[in-house]
Structure 1
Amino acid sequence: MTASTRTAGQHTQDAHAPYNSSSFAGEAARKLMLQFPARSTPGSWPATAAGRDEILARVDHAEFRARESSAQSHRRYGARRILSWLETFPGTTWQQRWQASPASDLGPRWLDPLQTWLIGRGENPNPAGLRAGLLSLLVADAIRPELDFLLATNRSRHRAAAFAAHRDPAGFARLEELGTEAVETSSRFVLRAIVQVATIVIAKGGAIADITVGDCLELRTAEAKLPKGGSYGGALFYSLLRDMGTFPPDAPATLRYFNVHSGQLTVEQLVDRYGIESKPIRDLIVDYLAERQSALDYTSLEVLSRTLANHFWKNLEQHNPGIDSIHLPKDVAAAWKQRLRTKVTRERMPDGTTAEVASPRSGYLGLVGSVRAFYLDIAQWALDNPARWGPWAAPSPVSSTEISYKKHASRVKAKMDQRTRERLPVLPVLVRTAEQRLRDARTRLDAVRAAPPGAAFTALGEPFTKVTNLVDPDPSKTTSAYDHNGRLRFLGKEEHRAFLGWAAVEFLRHTGVRIEEMLETSHHSITQYTLPDTGELIPLLQVAPSKTDQERLLVISPELADVISAIISRIRRGDGAVPLTPFYDMQERVWMDPMPLLFQWHTAGQQRAVSVALIRRSINEILEATGLTDVSGQPLHYQLHDFRRIFTTEAIANGMPPHIAQLLLGHKDINTTMGYKAVYAQEAINGHRAFIARRRALRPTEEYRVPTDAEWAEFLGHFERRKVALGECGRAYGTSCQHEHSCVRCPVLRVSPDQKRRLEEIRDNLTARIAEAEQEGWLGEAENLNVSLAAAEDKLAQLDQRTRRATTINLGTPTFAEVTGRTASQPAATLVSAGQTGHS
């Protein structure tokens, strides 16, 4: 037995047992099967024990007859031949004879032995009639093939239609009714769900009301073996069955990805993934992890198990066969640490071949630090419990001088600061691009929805042709189209990703939360706080604890309120409620109860939580559209955590005290918060200048003379010379214009609202000049004009923002009272001091 097939608590002494970190994929499904077992196929039931003539009479019975006489003739023909063939195999029931025949193992080729038998009898077989005969026997419940056979042979709607008409018609009608209510865009998802339910009824017997959670999970597991994997059909059928009240109240809300995720593994399973040969060492690591388990979250426990079982001991066993003591010789420990410093990855070379490439391991210090903690913990525990831990106390192979984090932390800090300095200045470009992509995606989506199937239409000057050859029985609802290059575009999905990208960028940059915290934000997270002295309502965002288990509250800014309103308006149902959606916690590896998540979407008749991968893809598409590059000329990439560092840098740079930023970010140590803040050279310059100003203020006043009339006139004239065509220049007295009087580019220009029309004319003129420069090939001129155009658009955006703050416009979005999940208030007598947060 290898590590890949080992179950919980089992261990092997196989010296060559390979390990596989994905051995326990689907462990969550196995645990669910133990809680909700699938029905087993009985050895016999009345229909399968009936005689040949009784079965044929049942096929001809009005309850099971086909509507068309020709179809019924095919069924009768096929049923007779199949029964005659099955009579040649041993068994007392038709089910036993079917299982004894080769057909049950041949899948799509089940007709081959039957046709050979018929040809031997001098008959010319009719494959269509034989298939119809098998369908009639299935409907008559004479045989119940395995799920693998049913999925491999025929998953068509005709089989489902036959069962819906002749087996539990009321149940299938109710199933279709619920599916039609759940799915708004396409009915093919409902058809797939009906086919899946029919497949379970064929294999297990009974009616729809008899289907169990285990039956559904067994079907999903069997579907995962198909070429298309577990994605075929989806889990809509389970949601519909659950809505019908078929399952008990404690049944899971969804079956999505249960056959993929392992869920939380036991400590034994975590260690046994790596096939450790020495059982005493394996048991020691298991016991050590069990002691540490209560103080660690699951992700940290999983990482620690990988470090000790794989990177530490399995590595030693592979290079030192037979080793069975953690008291390591110096040469063995030194060789292990040297191997750990590098990692080998396979990379594709320019000529198409692959090669193994060795590179320094960035997490080396963390690995050896965990091993050193392992030794020190055992030594400490040996003092308290010498009988249990004393025999394992040994000198650590990692000394304290080997895990100095000072240089490493400095390098990490420098890299983080450089990333922030590169990405913070271009954040406005990313924001504008996200907004423009969303507007364009909505324009294309509206155009394809208005076009009839197969018609050509134009959106944003780009020609499209709406598709007509999809399987969907209602092609008018499709949002797919071919562009002018003949490429199939899914415009509905493009609009969905454009919205998610815009919403994620805005949410992350205005809150500074972690990505898992953003995805777990629900409608209940939006609260209101009433100021005791003024009665003013302050909207708050309650951030669920994630990494540090520290709950915190953030004030919702007007910009963030617009984003939250747009999200809620998008996901609300017709009755105004936010749907409850189950989601998988990737940190704790457990399925959470359904919640009114903000980041969810409706697809294939189901509400799904947005994944981290989808957020990354959506933001990367925005970045690709910006064309931004880093200092090396490569495309600029944003990590999701970059927005958290940008938020911290902006907050502290704009005057927020670091200890308040620490509370908002949920850091346990203020040094972590300061590590997120990027250092700029301008801060040192401004701080030094402020020091000089304070020092001069303390010097004797007689050192400062009275200005002359000419100097005073020069000073007063400075303010007159600040007036320009577009408004006023805000540069300080005694400073020259650093932009060579190119006022549009100057950041200190304050545009007058009366000059908005003039600024728009400048922008339009720049656009025309850029087009002329690009047409004439004046690339240098075009690049220079693009800088001015970006500055003009930024000035217009600032002007619009000032106007919006001064004027209240009803945009039709929900108000705070409408989007708030609950309201919190606090009496004046218990008002907490500044910097403290609480919740009711």
Structure 2
Amino acid sequence: MGLNSLLISRVVLPRYVFLRGYKAMRLCKDVQQMFPAGQLDRMRDFGAEIGMTHRHIDEGLRVISSIILHTGRELAQLTAEDVFYLRAVGRRETGEAYVGTHSAWDLLGGAGVIDSKDTLKDALRHGQRPTAELVDAYNIQSTQVRNLLVRYLEERRPGIDYGTFRGLVRELAGVFWADIEARHPGIDTLRLPDEVVDGWKQRLVTYVNKSGEVKERRSRIDVMMRVRGFYLDIQEWAHEDPFWVQWAVPSPITRGDGAGNHKIIKTTSRMHQRVRERLPHLPVLLQTAERVHREAVALLEAARATPFNETFEHGETRYLRVLPKVNQVPSRLDHGSPHVYIKEVDSTERRISQSLVEDDAFWAWAIIETLRHTGVRAEEPTELIHLALVSYKLPDTSEVVPLLQIVPSKSNEEQLLLVSPELASVLATIIKRLRDVNGGKIPLISRYDSHERVTGPQLPHLFQRRPYWQPQVMSEAGIKRALDRTLEATGLRDQAGEPLRYTPHDF
């Protein structure tokens, strides 16, 4: 009690690590009672309005109380930077943000304490970076060359997408010039001696990955051609702009260096071979996706029909319907977690959120079926919206046929696909599922493009999930995980005996 009094009185400002280990529930409740009149109820009402459970609201309020105790400020004086700092401390100490950080952000925004309508995840996204900042990440020592690269890349930036632009920055500033500077300190001219260029070409053959393994660089021909283009562009621009004249020197990458383009053909052949090897397994993948989802649905229905803390048998296995301790508070029994938790009887494994397992299985099935019937790239389903389904009336027969619009992606070409009955069934199932869990509507949400680093407008995206209280568009990484889980469930293996894994060229 004495320590709590010191903390509440701001005599001692504790660290977040201490508060996390202290677990003083009464202390956080006392802090919340000191909120301005009506503010606590306002936060709780806002949390319930956007779909938070009582658990999420309580976790968010505890985080807000911890911020107040740590900073010594009042509720109205808290800022977005306080939440950012708390998140950074959690990631440094535990590898992930403290529980309740995201809900605390939304509660503070709903109460008007911080001026932000974005989620914490959206607020942390930095968007497209300036060219100079991207170049400076490679710590180029020569100021003249650094300024040259920035100006050259600024000239190239408007004509290419952001993902390609970041790759160009990495290859010119990192793979090319930063590597040369590391071996030849003090160099500040593009006119490179033959021994410098030859050494760089030899080092280009391999690279060291994040695990410290030395790997073959299959894109080395592409890198050399971009470096050659860099030199040739400067030579051409020097005829119109005097700035480039001092840098116009012969390219160290000759036309003969591009003679390895046959390796690109080999790379394409290797990708095609992967497809040929996996295509015969497609029926197995489809059957597995359907079976996994069917079994997940059956187990979820059996669990929902079982009271809490009672056992049931399904598929020759006995399960226990689990009620997590955090939901055993009387006020949460009727409004607790929407997830259904089970655990195998006499098993030491952790409890399973069967509702989440079923959701994962459904979307894995939906992804595989959509990719199979459309032939689109793996990231393009994340861009599908309800409005992309259109009808077209044939002028000859007056028959109305459904069409699916695919927005321009990597190929920068828009597609309009005829919707087959099988694809129509899949899309209808997705739409019905979204409407069933969202009051008959498909929520309007924004999609973050991880390649362009921009957030799009709010649209009725079809491939969206609600992991907590906020609907989110599935990411390309989420699609990859779903496909890998299904491939693992098939038990199939490649020629090396390793489990089959998904790559972007498999569909």
Q: Distance in 1 between matches of 2:6 and 2:497?
A: 65
Match of 1:158 among 20, 26, 35: 26
Offset, 1:623: 1.2
1:535 Cα deviation from its structure 2 partner: 4.0
Task: State the Cα deviation string for residues 656-709 of structure 1 (Å, max 9, x = none).
Answer: xxxxxxxxxxxxxxxxxxxxxxxxxxxxxxxxxxxxxxxxxxxxxxxxxxxxxx
Residue identity over aligned pairs, in percent, reads 34
SS of the residue corresponding to residue 539 of structure 1 reads strand
Aligned residue number for residue 408 of structure 2: 545
> Hey, what does 1:187 align to over in structure 2?
54
- Whether 1:375 and 2:231 are equivalent positions in the alignment is yes
Distance 1:392 1:598 in 2: 51
Structure 1 residues 315 and 610: alpha-carbon distance in aligned structure 2, compared to 1, 3 A threshold: same
- Aligned counterpart for 1:362 among listed residues 189, 212, 218: 218
Residues in 1 aligned to 2:58 and 2:27: alpha-carbon distance in whole angstroms: 11
In structure 1, the residue matched to 2:262 is 407
Question: Contact 1:503 / 1:563 at 8 angstroms: preserved in 2?
Answer: yes
Give the aligned partner of residue 132 of structure 1: 4
* Among 637, 642, 648, the residue aligned to 2:501: 637
1:315 maps to 179
Q: How far does residue 245 in structure 1 lie from its aligned partner after superposition?
A: 6.1
Aligned to 2:283: 428
**1:461-500 equivalence runs, <5 A:** 461-468=316-323, 470-473=325-328, 474=332, 477=337, 478-483=339-344, 485-488=347-350, 489-500=352-363
Q: 1:465 to 1:236 in 2, by over 3 A?
A: same
Q: TM-score, normalised by structure 1?
A: 0.55
Provide the C-alpha distance between the structure 2 equivalents of 1:532 and 1:517, rounded to a whole number of angstroms. 30
**Structure 2 residue identity aligned to 1:256:** K
* Cα separation, 2, equivalents of 1:557 and 1:237: 46
Greater mean deviation of Cα atoms: 415-424 or 445-454 = 445-454
Q: What SS is found at the alignment partner of 1:429?
A: helix
| Per-residue deviation, residues 553-589 of structure 1 (Å, max 9, x unmatched) | 2222211122112222222244311112233211111
Unaligned runs of 5+ in 1: 1-128, 348-355, 644-840
Q: How does 1:221-620 map to 2 (within 5 A)?
A: 221-230=88-97, 232-243=99-110, 251-256=116-121, 258-259=123-124, 261-345=125-209, 357-385=213-241, 387-404=242-259, 406-468=261-323, 470-473=325-328, 474=332, 477=337, 478-483=339-344, 485-488=347-350, 489-572=352-435, 573-620=437-484
TM-score, normalised on structure 2?
A: 0.89
What is the aligned residue count? 497
Which amino acid in the other structure matches residue 161 of structure 1? K
**Residues 553 and 317 from structure 1, CA distance in 2 versus in 1: closer, same or farther, beyond 3 angstroms?**
same
Structure 1 residue 322, shift from structure 2 partner:
1.7
Q: Post-superposition shift, 1:378?
A: 0.5
Which whole-Å CA distance do the structure 2 matches of 1:144 and 1:534 have between them?
A: 81
Give the distance between the partners of 2:370 and 2:12, measured in 1 at CA. 53
Q: C-alpha separation between the residues in 1 aligned to 2:426 and 2:415? A: 20
List aligned pairs for 1:646-725, cutoff 5 A.
none
Where does structure 2 lack aligned partners over 5 or more consecutive residues?
A: none
Query: Following the alignment from structure 1 to structure 2, what is the Cα–Cα distance between the partners of residues 390 and 337?
Result: 26
Sort the Cα spacing of 1:151 and 1:570 in 2 relative to 1 into closer, same or farther, 3 A: farther
Distance in 2 between residues matched to 1:590 and 1:291, nearest whole Å: 21
Structure 1 stretch 369-378 or stretch 315-324: which is displaced more?
Answer: 315-324
1:167 corresponds to: 35
Alignment deviations for residues 720-763 of structure 1 (CA, whole Å, 9 cap, x no partner): xxxxxxxxxxxxxxxxxxxxxxxxxxxxxxxxxxxxxxxxxxxx
The AA in structure 2 aligned to 1:582 is S
**Per-residue deviation, 1:175:** 1.7
Q: Deviation of residue 467 (structure 1)?
A: 3.1
Alignment RMSD (CA, Å): 2.8
Q: Secondary structure at the match of 2:447?
A: strand
Q: Residues 446, 263 of structure 1: CA spacing in aligned structure 2 closer, same or farther, 3 A cutoff?
A: same
Name the aligned partner's letter for residue 405 of structure 2: Q
Q: For 1:395 and 1:630, locate their aligned partners in 2 and report how far apart those are by CA, in whole Å.
A: 47
Alpha-carbon separation, structure 1, partners of 2:380 and 2:140: 36
Do the aligned partners of 1:147 and 1:219 also contact (CA within 8 Å) in 2?
no
Q: What corresponds to 2:488 in structure 1? A: 624
Cα distance, 1:234 vs structure 2: 4.1
In the alignment, the residues of structure 1 paired with residue 89 and residue 18 of structure 2 have an alpha-carbon distance, to the nearest angstrom, of: 10
What amino acid maps onto 1:339 in structure 2? R
Deviation at 1:601, TM superposition (A): 1.3
* Alpha-carbon distance between aligned partners in 1 of 2:23 and 2:465, rounded to the nearest angstrom: 28
Write the letter of the residue equivalent to 1:539: P
Shift of residue 222, structure 1, vs aligned partner: 4.7
